[in-house]
Structures are given as C-alpha cells and as structure tokens.
Structure 1
C-alpha cells in the first residue's frame, strides 16, 4: 500500500503541464539550485516515514540542467516491518523544462527495481522495455511537477478538471485532477494559504471515493507542496512539509 501511495503522490505532482507551450524557453521564478524540501509521513499519531524533494543544477553533456530527485524512506517500526528506500530522479533541461532522462530506483523489503528512460521528441527509450512511440512533450512525473511550478498556477478556476498523460512504468498513464480553490491551513512550518487539489482516484481496495486524495500547494511564487492527505479505507495518512532550505522566494505566512 505504501508503494501505491508514494506513486500516487508523484503522479499527482505531474499533472499541471497539460496545456502548456513547451517548445520554448520558459521563465523560472519558483525554484533554484540547492532547494531542499523534507516531509514527514504519519498515519494517525504513528510516524512511518520521511520523503524529500531536491534540486541541483549541474552540467550534462555541455548543457545546463536541473537534476531533481524524490526520495521516500520508512523509519521506526514501519522500517522494521517493511523497509522502503525509493528514489525517483529526473534530468531536466534548465531552459525548456523538458526531461532528458529519468531514473526509478525502487528498494522495498526484498523487492528491487531499476529503470532508466530517455526522452526524445516523439519517443522514449526504456532500458527495461525498449523504445516507445509517444505524443510530443511527454514528461516523467518529476519533470512535469517542476515544470508546473514554473508556469501553470495562474489561470485555474475552481472546479476545473485537468487531464494529462505522463510516461510511467513503461506506459502512458492518464490522470485527472480537480482544482478546489484557495484554502488556508495550519502546518508544521506555519499557517499558510494554499491551492487545494483533488486527484481523481479509483475507488476500491485503498480508497472509498474518487476524492479521497488531497494536496495543498503554497499560493505564492514557490508553489511548494505543503501537505498531502490520503483518506484511506483503514484511516487517514498525511505527508507534511517539516523542513525547507534554498527556496527562491521567502514563504509568506499568515
């Protein structure tokens, strides 16, 4: 279940790029080299893990890129029962925001999975499954999220539903997200106004209804995820921002 939740979070964070013009250089007022975000994952009063999002600017084959990664780690009793050490990475063109390469390195209990995907104009190449024809402007989940932070939070109206395709697990993965408006929340880092979203999930073994996943993103130039909440059949799981460093803009707390 933990794996599905972390994957759901990453897929959600990729949603906002759908209607963008992606062929040209785009401005970036939302993040910079050295940004680090740390999250605590808890189920009720039980702290079960940590997660992080990091950005580093590097030179890649003569081109300036952002190396981004998302990591999830189990801790405490959860770590003894089911150890998780997952890393998702994306190499992103710093000018256009497009992905060049992505990596999934999954280590969960005795399970291991490693795959690299290379992105081209109308195809992707996976080290696991070979070449796939895809629509232009295909993203992996991390590069789509970081693109969204740069360009796509100004024109949403409450009730809008956004649909997208992203390349994940060697397939094109469709997603729908509903924008719920602005909401002020109390978080471990302070009281802050956020944009609230509901990814539309499939009811069944994990979720009761299609609106059982929620995310709050800071309503400022940073567009940082502040909280993610999963209303599961067995209870509520939250992922809260607890530390941040290297933001491009100061947080504005109420």
Structure 2
C-alpha cells in the first residue's frame, strides 16, 4: 500500500498549460479516483482558494489524499498538503504537510525565503526546525502542479524534449524532469478527450519497473487538466482517473 501513498503524492504534481492568467483561479476543484483494475483504492482532491500572505495576494492550494473501502482497512491513509503561492511569480511562500500513512505520521510546515534562496522547515512532530539552501524558483510538491500549468511553451515541446524544475520535498531539493511523448485521444467518463502525453523520469528499482514507468495524460485545452495517470510498478500497475471537477477557468473540450 506504500505504492498507493506515492501515487497520491504524484497526482498532485501533474498538469500543464501555456502562460495564461486565466488557466486556474479560486473555486477550481478536482477529484481523482485511484484504482487497481476495478477496485477503488482511494481518492485525491485539489482545491484553489484566495489568500493574502504578507499583504500580497496569493493562491491557497489544498490537496488531500485518502484510502477507501478495504484499502483503508488494510492501510489507512489521510494526507493533507497545502501550498501558498504568489499570484505573480508562481513561487511558493509556504507549504504544509500533515500525513498519516498506516501509522507513519509527519507534521511539517515550510517557509520559503526566495530572495535569499533558503527555506525554514518546522517539524512539529519532532519539535525541531532546520534551514536549507535552495536554488532560485524552487517549488514545493504541490506548487509544482500550478507552476507547470503556467510554464511558457510547454504545449510547444517537440516529441522527446523535456522540461526540468527544482522541487523541495523531504528535506532536499531534487530535479524533476518531464519528457513530452506526444498527443493522444483517450476515452473517459466525460467522453473522448484530446490529451498531451508526458513521462516524468522516476527512480527505477524497488517500486517502479524503470525510469519511464509513469505516464500522464493532460487535456489539450486551456485548462491542461490531468485526465489520467498510470504507473507500471514492480508488481502490477495502478491508475488514477479524473472523477469530477468544478470551477474551471476555461471550457473543458470534449470531442464526443
């Protein structure tokens, strides 16, 4: 079930758009269903609200992940991720991470100081705090989703080209690399949707079969909604599908 936990986290990352001030806004909400075949394993949601940080307008993004049914009986997951994002730069001010994954818990809050390239992480569970040096424009795991939605030229990538961002997670900064694969029409509960297909490079070995085991289908419209995510694991595979949405800033284009 730890694979499910990782998958809930990955869902919060993927979604892309060319630069568009109306790509998303307060009131936007997504829900994803995570499943093994026909078995529901859990759900993940993302919501955008308005906020003010240091007298500056910001987005307050809230992400939740949780197991359901028999999956919850065997391995309970209740995860909360929050990010406060500057509306102009797209960079995060603060993140919150409160998780309970089968009894494994974390309660952290991170405070970005982008001008000095530092982040202060307060660990409320262990009652300590640490300061880390970070590169320019470093994102947290949740703000990465919205930062990439507004990344210029993402919809103009050629097949095989990649984009790389710096992302802070678990007390370290990593290079998050995405490779563009192509375009594909897929069948969803909403109808046939034209999508852009990406493959994030992930660490192969214990969980994933290989570096390109994760595939992400993104709606090829002004919303750049994550429509489907599929991961080939060391044993079997797991999928997440867009289940519901509201408050979109642009029309959701459906072919049929």
Tell me the TM-score normalized by structure 2: 0.89
Give the match for residue 54 of structure 1.
47
Give the match for residue 215 of structure 1.
216
SS in 1 for 2:207: coil
Unaligned runs of 5+ in 1: 21-25
SS in 2 for 1:182: strand
CA displacement at 1:27 relative to structure 2: 4.8
Give every structure 1 segment of 4 or more consecutive aligned residues whose post-TM-superposition deviation is greater than 6 Å: none
The answer to whether the 8 Å contact 2:167/2:174 transfers is yes
CA displacement at 1:29 relative to structure 2: 2.1
Q: What is the rounded CA distance, in whole Å, between the counterparts of 1:233 and 1:98 in structure 2? A: 35
- Across the aligned residues of Structure 1 and Structure 2, the Cα RMSD in angstroms comes to 1.9
Unaligned runs of 5+ in 2: 124-128
Query: Superposed, which structure 2 residues align to 1:43-82 within 5 Å?
Result: 43-82=36-75
State which drifts further: 30-39 or 124-133: 124-133
CA displacement at 1:132 relative to structure 2: 1.1
Distance change >3 Å, CA 243–CA 216, structure 1 → 2: same
Give the match for residue 119 of structure 2.
124
Deviations 1:168-221 (A, max 9, x none): 111011222211011111112221111101112222122222221110111111
Deviations 1:70-89 (A, max 9, x none): 11110000011111010111
Give the match for residue 29 of structure 2.
36
SS in 2 for 1:151: coil
Query: Superposed, which structure 2 residues align to 1:200-239 within 5 Å?
Result: 200-239=201-240
Query: Superposed, which structure 2 residues align to 1:90-129 within 5 Å?
Result: 90-120=83-113, 121=115, 122-128=117-123, 129=129
Give the match for residue 126 of structure 2.
none
The answer to whether the 8 Å contact 1:189/1:243 transfers is no
CA displacement at 1:166 relative to structure 2: 0.9
SS in 2 for 1:222: coil
Residue 86 of structure 2 corresponds to residue 86 of structure 1: no
CA displacement at 1:60 relative to structure 2: 3.0
The answer to whether the 8 Å contact 1:52/1:70 transfers is yes
The answer to whether the 8 Å contact 2:218/2:226 transfers is yes
Residue 154 of structure 2 corresponds to residue 159 of structure 1: no
